[in-house]
Amino acid sequence: MKIGINLLFLLPNEVGGTETYSVELLRKILALKHNFILFTNSLNHDIFLDSPNIQKKMIKYSARNKFIRVFHEQHTIPKLCKKYNIDILFSPGYTSPINIRCATVVTIPDLQYKHYSHYFSIFKRFFWEITIPRSIKRCERVVTISNNSLKELKKFFPKYSSKYRMVYPAVRDKWIGYKFDKDSIEKTKIKYNLTKPYLLSVATMLPHKNLYTLLKAFSLTIKEFPNLELLLVGKGSKNKKCSKLIKELNIENNVKSLGYVNACELPVLYKEAAVYAFPSLFEGFGFPLVEAQNFGCPVVSSINTCLPEIGKDGALYFNPLDAIDIHNKIRDVLKNDYLKKQLINNGFQNIKRFSWEESARDMINIFQEAYIGYENKRELT
C-alpha cells in the first residue's frame, strides 16, 4: 500500500499528548514494509528522518494559522493524494479531508468539546462541531485511544459504530527501560533546586487539567507536610492566574512553576518525585499517568473518564472536584510506605499492557480494512 500521512496539525511542543501519540506511533508504522508520503508543515518537516520508503512533501504556509491549515487539509492534500496515487490517507489529529478520492482513516482521541464546550472559544467550538462529525462520516475507519473514548464515540455518533476501532498508545519508546546516570540526575536537581521532597504535576494550564483544585488540595497537604514542594511542569504553569492563586493560598514558598521542561529532564523529575498527582477532569488516554508509572513514581489520579481504565491498580483515585479528597489521597501515599511500594509495583506491571509495536501492527490492519472497504464501495458505484 502507498500510505499518506496528514501531519498539518502537528506543531512541535504545542499539541500535548496528540504529538506524543503521532510521533511515537508513526515511527513504528514507518518502519514497516510499506511506502509512505508525509504531508508536513514548516515546523514539523524534520521530525521524521528520510528513508527509501518515505517521502516528505512540505506544504508551505504559516503553520500556526488554523484557517490556512484547514484550507490545505481540505483542498491541497486531496490534490496531492491524487497526484501521488495514495491508496490510503491517515490523519492522526482529529480531522481528515472530506472530499478525497482514496481510503481514509482518522484518529479522534477524545470528544472533550462535547462535555466542556465552555472551555473552548466560539471559533474552536464551531470548528470541532463541523469537522469531527464530517470526518467520522467520510472516513472508512475511525480510531480512538481508550475504551472510554470508544464508548463516547458510540454515544454521540451511534450511526457509525461499525467504523470505530480502539488502539492503545504506550509510554514513549526511548523511556522504556530508561537508564539513569548520576550526572544527569544531579544536574537536573541542581538546575531546579530540588533539595526537598516534592509532589509532581505535568500538565498545561488548560481548565480541564484542573490544576487550581490541585493547588487548593496542596495548601491543605503542606499543613501536615510543611517541607513538601509542588512542581508544576507544563506550558502556562507560570501564568498570572496561577501565580495569583498560589499567592492567595499563601503557598509561594512551596510551589515551583517550571514551565516547559525538555524530554531529557522529565525522567529525572518523575523518578525523584514523592508522588505524581493527576487531577484532570477529562483525558483521552492520560500519558503522564503511565509515564509516572514507568519511572516508578506512585500515582494519585482523578477517577474521571479513562483514567481508571488506563492506570488500573497502579494509582490511587480521587474525586477531582474535591480538594479534601485529593489531599487525603496524597497524604495516604506519603504516610504509608507499603501503599507506596504497592502502587509502584502495580504501575510497573500495568505499563506492560501497552506497546507501540503492537499499536503499529493494529493500525496497519486497520488501514487494510479501510482500503478494502473503500474499494468495495467504489465497485458498487
pLDDT for 183-201, tens place per residue? 989 999 999 999 999 999 9
- Structural domains of the chain in order of their starting residue, each with its CATH number: 2-170+355-373 (3.40.50.2000), 176-353 (3.40.50.2000)
Q: How far apart are the first and last CA of the chain?
A: 22
Extract the C-alpha cell encoding 70: 484547514
* SS3 per-residue string spanning 54-122: EEEEECCCCCCCHHHHHHHHHHHHHHHHHHCCCCEEEECCCCCCCCCCCEEEEECCCCHHHHCHHHCCH
* Contact residues for 286 (Cβ-Cβ < 8 A; gap 6+): 17, 278, 280, 301, 306, 307, 310, 311
pLDDT at 141: 98
Q: What is the pLDDT of residue 53?
A: 92
The residue written with cell numbers 528522518 in the block is 49
Confidence tier at 75 by pLDDT (50, 70, 90): very high
| pLDDT band with cut points at 50, 70 and 90 for residue 237 | low
Four-CA torsion 127, 75, 41, 265, nearest 10 degrees:
30
Mean per-residue pLDDT of the chain: 93
pLDDT at 238: 65
Residue 368 confidence class, pLDDT cut points 50, 70, 90: very high
8 within 8 A of 77, measured Cβ to Cβ:
yes
Instruction: Tell me which amino acid residue 103 is.
Output: A
What per-residue confidence (pLDDT) applies to 317?
Answer: 98
pLDDT in tens, 88-110: 999 999 999 999 999 999 999 99
Q: pLDDT at residue 380 above 80?
A: no
Cell digits of residue 239: 501564568
Separation of alpha carbons 211 and 205, rounded Å = 7
Residue 288 has pLDDT above 70, yes or no: yes
Q: What is the mean pLDDT of the segment spanning 226-248?
A: 86
pLDDT for residue 49:
83
Quick one: pLDDT at residue 15?
82
pLDDT confidence bin for 162, thresholds 50/70/90 = very high
Most confident of 114-118, 175-179, 309-313: 309-313
Kindly tell me if the per-residue pLDDT of 381 is higher than 80.
no
Are 162 and 10 in contact by the 8 Å Cβ rule? The answer is: no
| pLDDT above 90: percentage of residues in the chain | 80
Measured CA to CA, the distance from residue 260 to residue 265 in angstroms comes to 10
pLDDT at residue 243, as a whole number: 85
Percentage of residues in the chain with pLDDT exceeding 70? 99
Model confidence band, residue 319 (pLDDT cutoffs 50, 70, 90): very high
pLDDT of residue 234: 87
Query: Could you tell me the pTM of the whole model?
Result: 0.93
pLDDT in tens, 246-276: 999 999 999 999 988 988 899 999 999 999 9
